Chain A
Amino acid sequence: MAKVPVQFTLNGSEKAEFVESGATLLDVLRDKIGDTSPKAGCRQGTCGSCSVIVDGELRLSCLTLAETCEGASIVTTAGLAEGGVLHPLQRAFMDAFATQCGFCTPGMIMAAKALLDRNPDPSRDEVVEAIAGNICRCTGYEPIIEAVLSAARSNSISAA
């Protein structure tokens, strides 16, 4: 298969790769670049564990062709903590016991971040809706909802 050059920004760093035509963003992130925070739970868009944010939009990286990300700005869970300080969502997930086996956690945090980026003060129903595409097989859903709501509250406090 032909290789395709692609350049994008990952968590603020410039990346340039030759990728196989048809390679998914998930595989390029994990195997070529080595950011293994997005997880491959199903590779068919049904579990949400590979969720990343591309140009501000929540995307399933397993269904996103890497070559379509030319020039894009991509954010993954690995890029959320700044200078060793956890992002409020990460802190909230820890405090709320919102991670168990942890495999869904990076995708869940991305889905939550995409929600809070566009809606800083979501209702409980809006949180449920926003992460309804992410499966947690340990089924620790209630703490996850609590974590997202709590992160939203802490954001609004720090913004005030």
Chain B
Amino acid sequence: MAEGTAPISPEGAAIGRPIARDDGVAKVTGRARYAADCRPPGLLHAVIAPSRIARGRVTAFDLDAAMAEPGVVAVMTPANRPPLAEDPDAKTAPIVFRLDLLQDDRIRYAGQPVAVVIGETLEAAEEGAFRLAPAYAAEPALVDIDAAEPFVPETVGLGAPVERRRGDVEAALATAAHRVQRRYETAAQVHNPLEPHAVVAVWEGDRLWVDTPSQNVARAQRRIAGLLGLPPDHVHIRSPFVGGGFGAKAFPAGPQVLGILAARLVGRPVKLVLSRAQMFGAVGHRAPTRQTLRLGLADDGTIAALAHHARVASSRFDDFFEPAAALSGGVYAAGAVETTHEAVRLDIATPVVMRGPGEATGSLALECAIDEAAAELGLDPLAFRRLNHADTEPISGRPFSSKALRACYDAGAARFGWAGRPLAPRSLSDSDGRLVGLGIGTAVFPSMMFQAEARALLRADGAAIVELGAHEIGQGAATALRQIAADALGLPLSAVTLRTGASDLPDAGGAAGSSHTATAGSAIHAAGTALVARLAALATADPASPLHGAGNAVLFAADGALHAGDGRRDPHAAVLARAGLGAIEARGAAAPDRAARASHAMAAHGAVFAEVAVDPDLGAIRVTRLVGAFAAGRIVNPRLARSQLVGGMIWGLSLALHEAAQFDPATGAIANADLGAYRIPVHADLPFVEALLVAEEDTLVNPLGVKGVGEIGITGTAGAVANAVWHATGVRIRRFPIRIEDLALAMPGREKEDDA
């Protein structure tokens, strides 16, 4: 850890300690049970038949051929799909996505499920799906974001304003001493959690048991119950382990509901697991963007105007618009600032939230533009960023609840060795003759919070069980939330059991928006505080308690006992024993503090530094160092937090250099729908990545002071890598991911050779 990053929590408390993961043994032994690992008796296997066209209709199936395949039990098509209580295209809640549940023969994107084949074995179902051979009436499909007519949507993201303005950007641009205008392109990306979407559905009368990975079991329960016309408490969703989600499992996807319907159709348990190719279809993706940044600069280097406009793609039949420009309202001070969006509709599946939705792509464009502005002025890019540090949130004028960005710049720059970086590009090289460049990006991610509930039960033996429908998706929630529970209850970690991952438990909100620790953790904190208050009331009213007569307010719970400030103590178990109680329970709820959020902007911040080495002849890019310094409020478990931050940074590197889902204009399908051609980084692609934790205290963001670390790492990093490539080569590539051919062909001297 860098200097100035002292631990925030007091020694001895559970919060702040780098304890090992609670789910570690289950995961390293292979015993952790993911949805597809469930094998209830009588299980049948279902597979989806995906559409091969992007627009048109299904005109026929060869049902006879499919049913003739030995082991095929049923084929589910629009003709025999069990009825639904709700139209899957109905907007039944403010945030609900239209699903393709075989409601008709219409095709609206390639990969859309057109039928489900159910078999005694997976092999039989797959063969049946192959023999089903749907026939299509295809219509011309459009999948090119640049070829469609744009419009202005009503909102972006999940209900955010499509446009925001402060000051007169056009006037400020017109009078600025320097102007920079640049356009950047980002590609569509696909979440690709390593665990494909899977569902194992078992009906018992009008009760439904569903094993399926979810980032929000309460939301999934509501949606599935609504579609099926069941009371929500008849739908039992279990999601103890999620093999990665990144947003793809934030909303129940159509194929998961189809697995449930298939089980209804055949009256037996059904397992449906998507193939990897199908993971590029009906479960969402990150929309491609086209972004234009306009900056007006004063001679002293301050930003007079900053305008960020984004064009994003969505489907023809539903609304999700990547809020790519939105973050630019909160990063750099500017005399006038505006963020605007437009959208196009294409014959593609509806995009959805994907790690840093809007922030990831928007940060990439913003950080490149800021770098280009610094270059225009001949300023060091870090000095330029410091000069334009936003002391208040530019778009709103609100103060930040806390903001240790300057300390992040300091810590990151010191660790990375930024000082002495030559200003001019193409100044450095390594011993292999590769061109070396150093780049920086500012990381920022809003500190969100949602509603949650939790319950805590303290038993006579002094041990506690804390329950809520929280989500262990790999981020370490099960461990971090148990640390919060232990401190809230004043118990040693060994005395606290946490139960999560099921819709039968109190609604803990979703594992999304980097908000889960803050949201679920605050509910646990509230439940623990309420339970300690009940315990304290029992003790202080009990003449036999050492704490008799002590005021509640001066008591605190720690090490399994209640303590008064004067050293008197009474163990939890003793309080219950004297009261003759087998257990006591308390519930707690958490919700965002509306007043604090109206008066203050809340965000985590960071600074990311990248070093790249570029082959001068081939344009091959190697990131050789990546250092990030992040301030995200209170850190519950520094090892888990660093894993999240480093993972996010590698996603940022991947956004800049690797991942692109390529739509085939001829078929409308994603042409590289496998993990060979869709380039996810592996060990061999990566440098040593370091994330520093910078101390930050925030008393406004939530009772725990936690800001969240799940997504901020992707911001800042993508821009830092792109800026380092420019610094190495002198070539500014504005189409992402940066392709080797784009860079090689643009390298100085290269064009001449090609012309010769």
Interface residues of A (CB under 8 A from B): 1, 20, 22-23, 27, 30-31, 34-44, 46-47, 49, 76-78, 80-81, 86, 89-91, 93-95, 97, 99-106, 109, 128-129, 131-145
Interface size class of B (residues with CB under 8 A): 35 or more
Residue pair A142, B646 in contact (C-beta under 8 Å) = yes
- Indicate the member of A41, A89, A93, A144 with the most B CB atoms within 10 Å: A41
The dominant DSSP class at the B interface is loop
A-B contact pairs, 26 of them (CB 8 A): A27-B122, A27-B123, A36-B33, A36-B37, A38-B30, A39-B243, A44-B674, A44-B675, A46-B276, A47-B194, A77-B30, A78-B29, A89-B28, A93-B27, A94-B21, A97-B643, A102-B32, A106-B30, A135-B194, A137-B194, A137-B246, A138-B244, A138-B474, A141-B682, A142-B646, A143-B643
Known: A39-B34, A40-B36. A95 touches B244 (CB 8 A): no
Residue pair A128, B684 in contact (C-beta under 8 Å) = yes
- Docked pose: A35 CA to B20 CA in angstroms: 26
Taking the closest CB of chain B, its distance from the CB of A153, in whole angstroms, is 18
Residue pair B651, A139 in contact (C-beta under 8 Å) = yes
Contacts of A100 in B (CB 8 A): 244, 474-476, 643, 647
Residue pair B122, A94 in contact (C-beta under 8 Å) = no
Other CB < 8 Å A-B pairs besides A36-B30, A95-B20, A105-B28, 10 of them? A27-B123, A30-B37, A31-B39, A42-B675, A44-B675, A77-B30, A78-B29, A101-B195, A101-B473, A141-B650
Contacts of A23 in B (CB 8 A): 123
Query: What are the 6 tightest A-B residue pairs by CB atom distance, in nearest-first order?
Result: A37-B30, A101-B474, A103-B243, A102-B27, A139-B650, A46-B675
Residue pair B684, A44 in contact (C-beta under 8 Å) = no
Residue pair A99, B194 in contact (C-beta under 8 Å) = no
Contacts of B21 in A (CB 8 A): 94, 97, 99
Residue pair A46, B676 in contact (C-beta under 8 Å) = yes
Q: Which residues 7-44 of B have a CB within 8 angstroms of A?
A: 20-21, 23-34, 36-37, 39
Known: A90-B29, A141-B686. A40 touches B194 (CB 8 A): no
Q: Which of A30, A86, A137 contacts B193 (CB 8 A)?
A: A137
Contacts of A143 in B (CB 8 A): 643
Contacts of B475 in A (CB 8 A): 100
Residue pair B196, A132 in contact (C-beta under 8 Å) = no
Contacts of A80 in B (CB 8 A): 29
Taking the closest CB of chain A, its distance from the CB of B608, in whole angstroms, is 15
Residue pair A137, B192 in contact (C-beta under 8 Å) = yes
Q: Which residues 219-241 of B have a CB within 8 angstroms of A?
A: 241
Residue pair A77, B29 in contact (C-beta under 8 Å) = yes
The dominant DSSP class at the A interface is loop
- Indicate the member of A30, A36, A131 with the most B CB atoms within 10 Å: A36
Flag B107-122 by CB within 8 Å of A: 1 or 0 each: 0000000000000011
Residue pair A132, B683 in contact (C-beta under 8 Å) = yes
- Docked pose: A81 CA to B25 CA in angstroms: 10
Q: Which of A47, A103, A105, A106 contacts B675 (CB 8 A)?
A: A47
Q: Does B681 contact A (CB under 8 A)?
A: yes
Q: Which residues 190-234 of B have a CB within 8 angstroms of A?
A: 192-196
- Docked pose: A31 CA to B273 CA in angstroms: 13
Q: Does B54 contact A (CB under 8 A)?
A: no
Known: A22-B123, A42-B276. A90 touches B28 (CB 8 A): yes
Closest to B472 in A: A101
- Indicate the member of A1, A23, A77, A103 with the most B CB atoms within 10 Å: A103
